[in-house]
Structure 1
């Protein structure tokens, strides 16, 4: 998934222990929630939860505070992973249900066991900050907050930019907040796959395969590869280009090993 819609349920109040139809729960409303997230609708209608759905275990009876947790007994905040670019708008339906037993499948719930439901439609930008809300009706109150965050390795306003840090043959970089690569020290290039050679290393005569290195091409030597290698066997001569043997004063011959007369 490229982004995740997160819903944090915080507090639910049903002080009279009543169902939406006005009947009391016996002996109390054992409350769980069903969440439906879908595309924006000006008028919410029943139908597929196009962005996903999730249910909670029983979180309490009648009125209770909901703690953050991530275990086998439940998860809060609730997570709805999205396999598409976040469109910036949504519709959300939060339903509170009563169940007399532990089987929370929809087909096993009595049709008249709905406690309450709230519907939210609007826009929401990707970000770390939670958007808090509280909904009240005649019988119940729900306090909650929600947000959309990018999944690991996804960035940008709609979580559409993929960037995964790496340090291998294909690149050496971390990811900036906008998802663009930021080269690790010693590397450069569009994909941070070009090493930065030792400072002063001759551009033509030297090269490197890792940072701060200076390997000499044939015919050159020295720490910065700026010294030519004279002809093999050159005794009393120098060079300005590789394999040359320019004799010092007073010497001659192919290898500058013959004293001048």
Structure 2
């Protein structure tokens, strides 16, 4: 079965009525609106009815799935005029006229009837229109452009402009892609120019509501352990290391632990001191006892000194 594919969407359509002309001031069957047949000196009092439908649809003026426009008399005794613009300006109708389509195919179909607004003459039909207008809606109203269209009937012609654009949160050539940026328990994402979801940092999945395990990339080094969190990770460093990923080694020599001229060498989680000949200990804090080797002879007493001894 052939036909149009309808999808849920939200498209704003604007119709701007520009101008109208009935050069002969005749009705649909060739008679005069107000005057003697064959000498239509008086102009028509034009009022309009428009039925909005989908392109290629029924010609029935009662089939108006997109709505209808009942425009009262715009000007009396005038068959060549420009429509006024503004709220309620065109026969009680806003011009431009704006409506929303919840389904969109490839445009709209305008079916129109023009009558002479003259109760004494039975409101004769002046003309009728059936015209398909094809367009692709823009992303926003500021990006949309007007398309000029001339609709010609048997006696008259009508100039209008049409434009369409997606409403807020809708994207795509048919405004059928919905995307509303959010950062809550439902999802964490922004929207691309086509309406695709772009997950915020730390999130993944179709709705961007699955926490990314940042530990899977092994960010922690030097033997550190990794703990995953919401959009973050925490490294517990091994002794001797520090930093976000434990990539930095602690310099235990920075506090000058070696005493008495000792030289400090940094090692992982510690240090070593190279002492001078006169000192010992892990920090060179102990004076070497030169008397321990009993250097004094003949019953002399040994007195330990810094870097030596003295007999007495």
Coarse TM-score class (shorter-chain normalised): 0.5 to 0.7
Deviations 1:78-133 (A, max 9, x none): 2232222x1226532122334359xxxxxxx9864433221113654434343322
| TM-score of the superposed pair, with normalisation by structure 2 | 0.54
Q: Name the CA shift for 1:207/1:58 in 2 (closer, same or farther; >3 Å).
A: farther
Structure 1 position 161, deviation (Å): 0.8
- The number of equivalent residue pairs is 226
Q: What's 1:80 paired with? A: 99
Instruction: Considering Cα pairs closer than 8 Å and 6+ residues apart, tell me whether 1 or 2 has the greater RCO.
Output: 1
The match for 1:6 among 4, 14, 25 is 14
Structure 1 position 158, deviation (Å): 1.9
Q: Name the CA shift for 1:208/1:33 in 2 (closer, same or farther; >3 Å).
A: farther
SS at match of 2:68: strand
Q: What's 1:53 paired with? A: 68
Which of the two has greater helix per residue?
2
Partner Cα distance (1:188, 1:151) in 2: 27
Q: Name the CA shift for 1:115/1:159 in 2 (closer, same or farther; >3 Å).
A: same
Could you say what the CA RMSD is over the residues aligned between the two structures, in angstroms?
A: 4.5
Partner Cα distance (2:160, 2:87) in 1: 17
Q: What's 2:167 paired with? A: 151
Alignment of 1:116 with 2:99, yes or no, is no
Partner Cα distance (1:223, 1:11) in 2: 73
| TM-score of the superposed pair, with normalisation by structure 1 | 0.62
Q: How does 1:207-226 map to 2 (within 5 A)?
A: 209=230, 216=234, 223-226=243-246
Q: For structure 2, list consecutive stretches of 5 or more residues without a partner in the other structure.
A: 1-8, 36-41, 139-143, 249-256, 258-267, 274-281, 284-312
Alignment of 1:20 with 2:28, yes or no, is yes
Q: What's 2:49 paired with? A: 34
Partner Cα distance (1:71, 1:172) in 2: 42
Q: Name the CA shift for 1:249/1:67 in 2 (closer, same or farther; >3 Å).
A: same
Greater Rg by CA: 2
Is the 1:166–1:174 Cα contact (8 Å) retained in structure 2? Answer: no
The match for 2:149 among 118, 133, 136 is 133
The match for 1:205 among 226, 246, 255 is 226
